[in-house]
Structure 1
Amino acid sequence: MSPRSTELTGRVAFITGAARGMGAAHAEALAARGADLIITDLDLAELNSVAKGLRETYGRRVSTLRLDVTAPDAGAQVAALARDEFGRLDIAVHNAGIMHDWKGLDETPAERIQPYLDVNVLGPYSITRSLRPLLAAGDQPRVIFISSQWGQVPDGHSYGYMIAKAAQLGMMKALSKELLVDKILVNAVAPGAIHTRMVPDEVYEEELAAVPLGRLGEADEIAATVAFLASDSAAFISGQTIAVNGGALVPGV
C-alpha cells in the first residue's frame, strides 16, 4: 500500500495502461496522495477492479475508460471525460506499452516496429495535443512518460521497443520546451528491469544478473518516482529523465 498524504488533493490525474502492473501502481500512488483519477486501459474488467479498490481504500473519485491510445480520437475521449466528470485535468501519465519481442535485427522487419511507435510515441503525442488546453488550466500541470532504460542505452534486441522508447524520450524533451509557455512540466521515468509481466520467465535470470543491486525493481518503486514528479517537490524540474534501475547503467559497474 502506498504511503498516504494530501499533497495532490484537488488534482485530477489521467493514467494509461492502468489495469495492472506499473499503471495500477501509479494509480495507487497518486490516489494515496489525494488525487482523483481517470484510469484507462483496453482491459475494462481489470480496470474496473483497480478502480473499485482505489475507491474503497482511499476514498477517491475514480473514472474508468476503455481506451486504445492509438485511436485517432483517444485524446478527445479523455478530454471530454475530464471536462464532464471533473471539470479539470492536472496530471497525465503516459504508461501504456506493449511487450518486448526479444528479437534481433535479422528477425525484425521495419513494419514490426510501427506498433511500438504507435503505442509509445504517436498515441501519447496526439493525446497530449488534445489535453494541452485542460492541462494548461490545471494546478501545476504535469506530463509524465514511462520510458525505459533501453530508451537510454539499447541492448541489441527488441528493436521496436527500444527505438520507440528512445523516440519517446526525444519527444518528451521537445514537449518540455514548448509546453513551458503553459507552465506544463514534462518529464520521464526510465525503469530498468522491473518485476512485472514484461519480464518473461525465460529471461528472468539474465535480467537479474544485469542489475548491480542484485534484484529486480518493483512497480511501486517506479510509482513513487511518478508521484514525486507529480508533486510540488518537483516544481522546478522539466525535460528530465529519471532512471530507476538499481544501478544498471552506472559506468564500470
Structure 2
Amino acid sequence: MSCALVTGASRGLGRAIAVQLAKDHGLHILVNFASNQQAAEETLAEIQSVGGSGELLQFNVQTKTEVDEALNGWKEKNEDKTISVLVNNAGITRDGLFMWMPEKDWDDVVDVSAKGLFNVTQNAIQQMLRKRSGRIVNIASVSGLKGVPGQVNYSAAKGAIIAASRSLAQEVAKRKITVNVVAPGFITSDMTKDLNEEELKQMIPMNRFGKAEEVAHLVSFLVSDKAAYITGEVININGGIYS
C-alpha cells in the first residue's frame, strides 16, 4: 500500500494537504504531529470522512533520533506499506527584528524547517530510492524568496529548503523521484491569524489571502502522475506577490 507522510499535519496547511492527498490519490496518510494529539485526531477524522485511511505518527522533526525511531519502528510493523509521497510541511515562526533576536528563536525556526527536512527526508527517501519512484514536496514560503522584515530566521530557513530541494532533485531524478517546492504567500491559517489581513491584502494583486485548500490542490497535482516531468521547481502560490 502506498502511503504519504505529511509532517506538521495536525492543523492548517498540513491538515488540508493530508485530506486532499487521501481524497485525490487514495494514499494511506501518516499524520505527523509534534504535541497536539487532539488536533491530529481531528485531521485523521477528516481524512476518514472523505473515505480515506490514515494513522497518527508522533515525532519532532528537528530531532533525528526521534524521527528515525518513529519511522523505522513504523516500517518494521508495516512491511506491506511504503512511503511513496513525502510532504515536508512542518514549520514554525518566531518573528522579531534581527538585532534583538534571541539565539533560540533563530535555532528553533531553522531546526524545524531545514534540519527537519534533512531528518525526515533522509529516512523516507531510502524506500523511494529502492523502489525507483517517489514524490517529495517541500513547503517553503514567499519569505524564502522575497525577504520579509522581522522574519530573517524564517526567511533563512525557507531559503535553505528551496536551495536544498533544487540540489536533491538533481541527485535523485534518475531514480524517478521528483523534488519540488511550493511557496505560499499569505494563506488563512493559524499561522496568519494574528496578522492584519485588511492591511496586508492591499499588497496582494488578488486582494485576498489564499485558502489552505488552494495550496493542497497544488501539492496534490505535484504528487500526481501528471507532474512526472516537473522537478527542482519552486511554484509560487501567492495571489500575485512576486519576488
TM-score normalized by the length of structure 1? 0.88
> Could you say which residue in structure 1 is the equivalent of 2:85?
91
Task: Give the Cα separation in 2 of the matches to 1:40 and 1:202.
Answer: 26
> Could you say which residue in structure 2 is the equivalent of 1:233?
226
Task: Give the Cα separation in 2 of the matches to 1:175 and 1:76.
Answer: 24
Instruction: Report deviation, 1:107.
Output: 2.1
Query: Could you say if the C-alpha distance between residues 77 and 202 of structure 1 is closer, same or farther in structure 2, counting changes exceeding 3 Å?
Result: closer
1:96-136 superposed Cα distances (whole Å, 9 cap, x missing partner): 111341x2222224443111111001121121111122122
Q: Does 1:72 align with 2:60?
A: no
1:161-204 superposed Cα distances (whole Å, 9 cap, x missing partner): 11111111111111111122432110010000001121133432
Instruction: Report deviation, 1:61.
Output: 2.5
Q: 2:5 aligns with which of 11, 14, 24?
A: 14
2:132/2:177 contact within 8 Å kept:
no
Task: Give the Cα separation in 1 of the matches to 2:7 and 2:81.
Answer: 19
Query: Could you say if the C-alpha distance between residues 190 and 150 of structure 1 is closer, same or farther in structure 2, counting changes exceeding 3 Å?
Result: same
Q: Share of identical aligned residues, percent?
A: 28
Q: Does 1:193 align with 2:149?
A: no
> Could you say which residue in structure 2 is the equivalent of 1:166?
159
- Partner letter of residue 31 of structure 1? A
Instruction: Report deviation, 1:71.
Output: 1.5
Q: Does 1:40 align with 2:40?
A: no
1:104/1:156 contact within 8 Å kept:
yes
Task: Give the Cα separation in 2 of the matches to 1:208 and 1:69.
Answer: 32
Aligned residues: 239
Instruction: Report deviation, 1:44.
Output: 1.5
Q: CA RMSD in A?
A: 1.8
SS in 2 for 1:32: helix
SS in 2 for 1:70: coil
SS in 2 for 1:125: helix
- Partner letter of residue 209 of structure 1? Q
1:53-81 superposed Cα distances (whole Å, 9 cap, x missing partner): 312321x2201111110112204422431
Query: Could you say if the C-alpha distance between residues 140 and 19 of structure 1 is closer, same or farther in structure 2, counting changes exceeding 3 Å?
Result: same
TM-score normalized by the length of structure 2? 0.92
> Could you say which residue in structure 2 is the equivalent of 1:105?
98
Tell me which stretches of 4 or more aligned residues in structure 1 moved more than 3 Å. Answer: 137-140
2:63/2:119 contact within 8 Å kept:
no
Instruction: Report deviation, 1:46.
Output: 1.3
1:19/1:40 contact within 8 Å kept:
yes
1:115-161 superposed Cα distances (whole Å, 9 cap, x missing partner): 11110011211211111221224474011100001101112221111
Task: Give the Cα separation in 2 of the matches to 1:127 and 1:154.
Answer: 26
- Partner letter of residue 227 of structure 1? S
Q: Does 1:26 align with 2:20?
A: no
1:76/1:127 contact within 8 Å kept:
no
1:41/1:68 contact within 8 Å kept:
yes
Task: Give the Cα separation in 2 of the matches to 1:228 and 1:137.
Answer: 24
2:188/2:210 contact within 8 Å kept:
yes
1:4-50 superposed Cα distances (whole Å, 9 cap, x missing partner): xxxxxx53100011111100000111000111111111212211221
